[in-house]
Amino acid sequence: DTGVSQDPRHKITKRGQNVTFRCDPISEHNRLYWYRQTLGQGPEFLTYFQNEAQLEKSRLLSDRFSAERPKGSFSTLEIQRTEQGDSAMYLCASSLKAEGWTQYFGPGTRLLVL
């Protein structure tokens, strides 16, 4: 499968714990995006990278959230001191200029904070 992959697909954690998600974009896609989606809502932008540079961060990305893309390939999203309000689907997408920057989404990581 050459699409965007995310790991884990599901995560259950207790409030206050730290969690980390991984995203592997489509090969050679130099832009990578993170979104969050809660029930009944559309996805909301969190942050995006062009290669290893984090170019934009949403106001939704509180101090407890940090994203990295150290080598310009895979990315990690870490949430520290999780809260129940962090429960959501975390979606990763990637894009390429030659494809008009069309964003292709991964299957998401569903987080439940108890």
Partner 1 sequence: RKEVEQDPGPFNVPEGATVAFNCTYSNSASQSFFWYRQDCRKEPKLLMSVYSSGNEDGRFTAQLNRASQYISLLIRDSKLSDSATYLCVVIVLYGGSQGNLIFGKGTKLSVKP
Q: In this chain, which of 21, 25, 32, 33 binds partner 1, going by CB under 8 A?
A: 33
Report the C-alpha gap between 78 and 64 in whole angstroms.
8
Judged by beta carbon, residue 45 or residue 74, the one nearer partner 1 is 45
Enumerate residues 6+ apart whose C-beta is below 8 A from 74. 22, 23, 24, 25
Contact region with partner 1 (CB under 8 A), list: 12-20, 21-29, 68-76, 97-105: 97-105
Q: Taking CB under 8 A as the rule, does residue 45 contact partner 1?
A: yes
- CB 3, CB 102: distance < 8 Å: no
Q: Taking CB under 8 A as the rule, does residue 78 contact partner 1?
A: no
